[in-house]
Structures are given as structure tokens and as C-alpha cells.
Structure 1
Amino acid sequence: MPMSDVRAYRLARVQAQLRKAGCPAILLYDPVNIRYATDTSNMQIWTGRNPSRYVMVFADGRVIGWEFHGCEHVWDGLCLDVELRDAISWTFFNAGPDVERRAKRWSAEIVDVLTVHAPNELRLAVDRLDSFGASCLIESGVTLLDGQAMMELARSIKSPGELVLMQASIRACEKGIERMHGELRPGITEQDLWAHLHYENIRHGGEWIETRLLSSGDRTNPWMHECSARALQHGELLAFDTDMVGPNGYCADISRTWTVGHVRPTDEQRKLYGAAYSQIHFNMGLLRPGMTFREFSEKAWKIPDMYLKNRYSCIAHGIGMVDEYPAVAHQIDWESSGYDGQFERGMALCVESYIGSEGGAQGVKLEQQVVLIESGCVPLASCEFETDWL
């Protein structure tokens, strides 16, 4: 599928959400949402922290882009019905003591655009906006709707062309994983090893990595230690989670666990690995379109009591340009953090496992990226598991 078809598909998904909500337009600040709707990218990490470019997409497909100073060229080559304007940045960093005046000028322009393009319909979806900006729009008579929910739902079903782009990112990620595998030896630091993934991502046209989740030895339990200058020791476990935003802005989210030196694991290491492997493969076997999130949670692999305290934060989550809707809670967490919905064909998901006992000396992290088809799910990632440990 040509890139133009992918862009048209994504924009149409956004339009469909607007029409469903009876909302004439959505204002986007989240760089990932802007990328999804327009395929433009400009300093995504920086603009994620410094809201200085924004886009309004109308239900009829028109786009107004307020671009960062001197950066109109990032829109070159796109077949979009777009009007470009200069962004008004009113954060304290950009405006200093002039924040209030600039914010009111920003709000007046947003209201004017909305009035011209959608007269008598001052309803606007917004994905991200601080309280001062929201209050300026509300004081001007604008009714604000939850734009982030609309964008998450729009992004949740992948076109065949999107899956091609996602697999290109996964292939780049697997090059990084292969490089890490080859460099994994006693004495190398966690950070030195992690740098190989970054190298392959950038070399293949990727963008950034959202976390630094690589740990070794006793830092593998509990999970969520970020990589450090610690030197790896012979025979201990090494675990990582890529969270890699690669070429074309799509995420490759893969976790694997190895032994340092690629030596035969101990009986305890094999036991941990076997449990993690069983969890993700049992749960992959359950997944199918039409199943509800709650049913999946209820039927999911039962985590043994000794590992329950340190369980991963969810059983599975959506994946696209980044981690996306849905996040499926464990049954034990359902009352506090679960929500229902239904799996659909075309959803890309990551099936998760972390196995490590409370107070234990080590743990295993595994994660597989899949796509839902009519008969169930199929893996998108091809990098191998340590099946000879089982």
C-alpha cells in the first residue's frame, strides 16, 4: 500500500471519530497524534514538552497547521488540504511574563477559525491542553470534548499499510536486538549494551526510544530498573524492553531475557523463564476478535502466588506509533484499573509478562508484538525465544 493510502486511511479514521461525536474539529498538540493525522513530524520529543506546534483537523478533512518558527518545510510533499499559520506559543519558557496576553491571542484565533469553518457550532475536541488554555476557550463559549479518546480509538485499528510500516520498525529493532545479542558478554555495562539498540534504530531511520528498560542481575527484580553503568556478570540474567519508535514513527515493543555470556541457565532461571513463556503464549492463544477485554482478563494465565506481587502492570496493551488503547488489566486489578471493550480484527497488541518473586534475586521479562486476524493473533516480531531453556 503506498504511503499516500496510509495517510488517507489515518485521516479518514480521525474524521470518522469526529462525525461519530458530532464534533466539527479536533485540536491536536500531542506530537504522535499530529503525526498520525498529518504524517508531519517536527522535533517530537521537544514539542511534546514545549507545546509550540499544533494542528486542527476538521470532520470534512480540512487541516490547519500552526507550525513552529521557520518550519513550514516539514509539510512539503504532502497531499493535504492544509492551511499553514504561525504558531503562538504561550508557555512561560516562550512568553515569560506575557503568558496571559499571548494565551488570549491564541484563544481568539482558535475561536475565529472554528467560527469561520464551523459557524454556530462552538464544539472542539482537544487532545492535550493545560488548564489556562482550556479556561480561555471555555470563557469564549467553546465546549471542549475529549480528543485524546477520539484519537486513541482512531489509531486502534491498523490498515495493511500501517502493518507494513510497523514491521519495518520491528525489523530495525530486531537488528538492534541481534547486535545486542552479539555484544552481550561479561564486563560490558548495561548502558554500553543498550547503546547498540539506539545505534541500529537511528541507522535505519528511526526516531527515539521511550524508556531505558534494560537491567541485569539483581536489578532484574523488581522490573522497571533503567539501564545503568553496572558491569554485567557471567551467567546472570539480562532483560530488556525496547519501546522503540522506529522508521515512519511506528513502535517496536519487544522484551527478551538472556543469560550473560549465553550460558546454560540455572534451574531457578529456567523456572522463571518457563513461567513467563507460558504466560504470554497461553494468553496469545486466547486472543481473538470479538472477545471482550474482561473475558480475556478472566481467562488469562493464572500467575502463581509467589509471582503475583511483582506482576506486570497489564496483561496486554495496544501498540501503534506508541503504546496505545487498550490496556487490559489483570483480573486482580480489574476493580481498580480495568475497563471493558472488545478486541477487533486489525488491532496490534503487545502481550506482556514479568515473572519474579517478591524479594527474589532475579526476574524474567518477555513481551511479544502481535496483530489480530479473524482466527486469533499472529506474531509481528520474529526474534526467537530461548526455547531450549524450557
Structure 2
Amino acid sequence: MANFDWHAERSDLSNIALLDRAPESEGIDLRQVRLYRQGRVRQQMLKYGIDAVILSDPINIRYATGTRNMQIFSMRNAPSRYLLLTANRSILFEFTGCLHLGEGYETVDEVRPSKTASFVAAGPDIHLRERAWAAEMNDLITELVGKGATLGLERLNANVSIALRELGLTIVDAQKPVEMARAIKSPEEMKCINASLRATEIGVGKLREAIRPGLTETALWSVLHQSIIEQNGDYCETRLLSAGQRTNPWFQETASYVIGENELIALDTDVVGCHGYYSDFSRTFHSGPGKPSGVQRDLYKVAHEQVHYNMGILRPGMSFREYADRAWDIPAKYYANRYYLSAHGCGMTGEYPYLYHHGDFPDAGYDGIVEPGMTICVESYIGEDGGAQGVKLEQQLLITDTGIELLSRFPFEEEMLA
């Protein structure tokens, strides 16, 4: 790939040009990735009898078009930008002053200004804005696919959904077709996932090197965050780094806790990295200066065993129920603090499917088939109920036609396995 000409015409400095020609895009046909993903959504729409979908979740918009704009803001202020997708038309409604961000994408036929139907934008008369919004969208959908169409929605105000139904549209949930579309990755899409993982592993390496007693959790976590951003990643979706006694129970957000000597430090990356793809693996480190204790090593070895056992049983064609029945049996003393999932899908975020533990399957589980092209994260958290510390480990992998391919390559701690 030729070096980017920073003195080229302004058209070459557009959003899409910079993203497609960035260093992390080397060797990836992003046009093919975008067309594949949009085709997947349309295939699922046809399968479930949906004439049109309105997507307002920015992750789903990015999946279906490749466009991005103020991801976190858009999540909080939906619908501030949204996509109308039919079998043969893709219209992106972009935030005020941002229409240029949707230009040049082969997955976007037209860019129009959005009309935000939120309370902060519309004020006390929001119901009038919502009804006007619904009427305009109904007219457009009728023009494109006919009267009384079946419309899929995934994130819209309740009053907008009600108004659309009152106008004669058949409203269905778009979550299923979109999630089923996202679940199967193309070979070119896998290049994006691997690029995100490699960048995240660089960041985790820098974090590991920075570990020392006396550093706060927040200072340590910021090392990863800085590395992700400087490599053109998007953001860290969670703040899951904790140390010492704050490693048990899990899910304690990174705080001002000062890391002590010879403590465990547990990390779940949860990185939305370059190209918008999720890089999701977990590691647990030791702060030094001494060696890990026997208790710390035992916790680590048990977590390591759980992850690798469950990776070993995953195969294409396996049902979710079969996986739950065959999965590693969690020892009783760790069961209460078990991670809430045994494994989960992973793409542009954590996604379908969720694979539950055997004991949780009757109440929470659902069945399905593990398919080639799915990317799966296998989870473990090991810590006794009321214990002083715990270990979090996780691996990201691809389901292939014959088995699995390990995607996350960051090493485990040899001194914890000794």
C-alpha cells in the first residue's frame, strides 16, 4: 500500500479515506467487509419477513454501513442518527452538521439530516416531534416498500413505536435478525478482529510493564486506554481492572485504590478497537516484588483449567445445551462467585450467543447451534464467596469448519502456573 499523501486534495482527507488507508487497514478490503455485513442484515430481514428496519444503535449502524459518528453520544441520545434499510435502499439520517461523514460509502445510497426525537431536543412538546417523526418515516417507508409494511425496530422511543404502529405499519423487533447477521464473520471481517486484538495486546503489554506497588488502579488502567486510542481504537467499554481485595467479588470498577505489594491485579479488556471490533480477553497479574503465594497460584490454575477445558469441548454443530451439559464442573467453593456466563459471542461488541453454565441453563439458557464463523469468548472467574482475592481469565477464539482457532495471543503468567 502506498504511503498516504497528507498534502493531497481535501477529498482524499475524508473520513472514509483516512479510515480505509490507516496503518491498521493494511491488507484488509474494508469495502468487502462493509458489503458483506450489509448483505448479512438483508439476508436476515428476508428470512424473517421484514420489509424495512430502522437502526438507531450506533454499533448496528456501523455494522450495516461502516459509518461512525460520536458513538457514545449517539448511544445516549438516541435517535440522534439512524439508518433506514430496505432490500434495495440504504438511507442514513445523520446528526446535525455531520452529513459529510456518511459520504463516499458504497453501503449508503443517500444521507439526510436527522430529526432528533428526544426530550432534551424537543422539550415538553416531545410528543408532537415524535408523531411528526413517525409520519415522515411512514411516508418514506410506504414510498420505498408499500403501504402497511413490516418494520423492524431495535432502539426507539416508546411513543415513536406506538405512532408508527398507529399509522398502519406492522412493528417487529429487529434485534433477532441483526444479532443473527452479526454472529457469522467473513474471512475479511476476521482480519479486522485480529487487527483489533493485536493492538489491544500491545496495550495490555504496556499495562503489564507499568505494574508496580504504589500505583493506583486508575493510573494503571489509563496505560491501556492511551495505547488503544493512539492505535486508532474507539474506547474501552468497561472499567474492569481491580487489585488486591477488590478482585473478589468480580465487577468492581477501576477506582483510586493503591496497588499493594504482592497483590493480584485482574483485567478484562472489553476494548472496542480499530474498525470498531471488540477485543475481549482477560488476564490476571501479580504486583510483586515477591513471588505469588500458593493460594494465588491455586486460584490461577483453576481458572486456567476452566478456560482451556471449555475451549477443548467447543466444536461446530454443537448445541448450546450440549455445551452447557459438557462444560467444566465448577467446584462448590467457587460456584457462588462464578462468572455469569460460561462463554459468549463477540464481534463489534459482546453479542449472540450467550452460553450459560449447566446450573444456570434451566432458568437463563436457550438453545441454538455453534456455527463456523462465530467468534466466542470463553470466560472464567475463580474466587471463593467471601474470599480475599480472585482470578479472571478469558480467551477469544473463532469457530472453524473443523474446530476452533485461538485468536487472543497474550501469554498467561508462567510464574502463576508454576
Q: Same fold, TM exceeding 0.5? A: yes
* Counterpart secondary structure, 1:343: coil
| 2:129 paired residue among 92, 102, 125 | 102
Q: Kindly indicate whether residue 35 of structure 2 is the aligned counterpart of residue 8 of structure 1.
A: yes
1:317 and 1:351 in contact (8 A); partners too: yes
Matched to 1:68, the amino acid is F
Matched residues in 2 for 1:81 and 1:136: separation?
A: 27
1:311 and 1:355 in contact (8 A); partners too: yes
Alignment deviations for residues 130-150 of structure 1 (CA, whole Å, 9 cap, x no partner): 211111111111111110111
Who is 2:52 aligned against? Answer: 25
Who is 1:202 aligned against? Answer: 229
Q: Kindly indicate whether residue 193 of structure 2 is the aligned counterpart of residue 166 of structure 1.
A: yes
Who is 1:213 aligned against? Answer: 240
Alignment deviations for residues 55-111 of structure 1 (CA, whole Å, 9 cap, x no partner): 011123x10111100101111221235122221112111010221111111001110
Alignment deviations for residues 250-281 of structure 1 (CA, whole Å, 9 cap, x no partner): 01011000110264211111110010000000
Q: In the TM superposition, what are the counterparts of 1:96-135 in structure 2 within 5 Å? A: 96-135=123-162
Q: In the TM superposition, what are the counterparts of 1:127-276 in structure 2 within 5 Å? A: 127-261=154-288, 263-276=290-303
Q: In the TM superposition, what are the counterparts of 1:306-385 in structure 2 within 5 Å? A: 306-385=333-412
Matched to 2:81, the amino acid is R
Matched residues in 2 for 1:263 and 1:257: separation?
A: 16
* Counterpart secondary structure, 1:205: coil
* Counterpart secondary structure, 1:173: helix
Q: Kindly indicate whether residue 85 of structure 2 is the aligned counterpart of residue 57 of structure 1.
A: yes
Matched residues in 1 for 2:210 and 2:415: separation?
A: 21
Q: Kindly indicate whether residue 70 of structure 2 is the aligned counterpart of residue 43 of structure 1.
A: yes
Change (3 A) 1:81 1:75: closer
1:17 and 1:154 in contact (8 A); partners too: yes
1:42 and 1:74 in contact (8 A); partners too: yes
1:312 and 1:354 in contact (8 A); partners too: yes
Matched residues in 2 for 1:270 and 1:28: separation?
A: 47
Alignment deviations for residues 266-304 of structure 1 (CA, whole Å, 9 cap, x no partner): 111111001000000000000110000110011000000
Matched residues in 2 for 1:347 and 1:57: separation?
A: 24
Who is 2:111 aligned against? Answer: 84
Matched residues in 1 for 2:100 and 2:233: separation?
A: 20
Matched residues in 1 for 2:85 and 2:62: separation?
A: 12
Q: What displacement does 1:34 show?
A: 0.1
Matched residues in 2 for 1:217 and 1:84: separation?
A: 51
Deviation beyond 4 Å, 4+ runs, structure 1: none
Matched residues in 2 for 1:81 and 1:288: separation?
A: 37
Provide the aligned length of Structure 1 versus Structure 2.
Answer: 389
Q: What displacement does 1:120 show?
A: 3.3
Q: What displacement does 1:159 show?
A: 0.6
Q: What displacement does 1:379 show?
A: 1.2
2:52 and 2:149 in contact (8 A); partners too: no
Matched residues in 2 for 1:323 and 1:387: separation?
A: 28
Matched residues in 2 for 1:110 and 1:277: separation?
A: 52
Q: What displacement does 1:318 show?
A: 0.3
* Counterpart secondary structure, 2:85: strand
TM-score (norm 1): 0.98
Matched residues in 1 for 2:289 and 2:350: separation?
A: 30
2:92 and 2:108 in contact (8 A); partners too: no
Structure 1 vs Structure 2: percent identity of aligned residues?
46
Alignment deviations for residues 220-275 of structure 1 (CA, whole Å, 9 cap, x no partner): 00000011111101111000101000111001011000110264211111110010
Cα RMSD for the two superposed structures? 1.0
* Counterpart secondary structure, 1:56: strand
TM-score (norm 2): 0.91
Matched residues in 1 for 2:191 and 2:288: separation?
A: 34
* Counterpart secondary structure, 2:301: helix
1:368 and 1:381 in contact (8 A); partners too: yes
1:158 and 1:346 in contact (8 A); partners too: yes
Alignment deviations for residues 298-322 of structure 1 (CA, whole Å, 9 cap, x no partner): 1000000000000001000000000
Matched residues in 2 for 1:13 and 1:141: separation?
A: 27
2:38 and 2:107 in contact (8 A); partners too: no
2:56 and 2:83 in contact (8 A); partners too: yes
1:238 and 1:258 in contact (8 A); partners too: yes
Q: What displacement does 1:387 show?
A: 3.5
* Counterpart secondary structure, 1:327: strand
Matched to 1:59, the amino acid is A
Matched residues in 1 for 2:111 and 2:372: separation?
A: 36
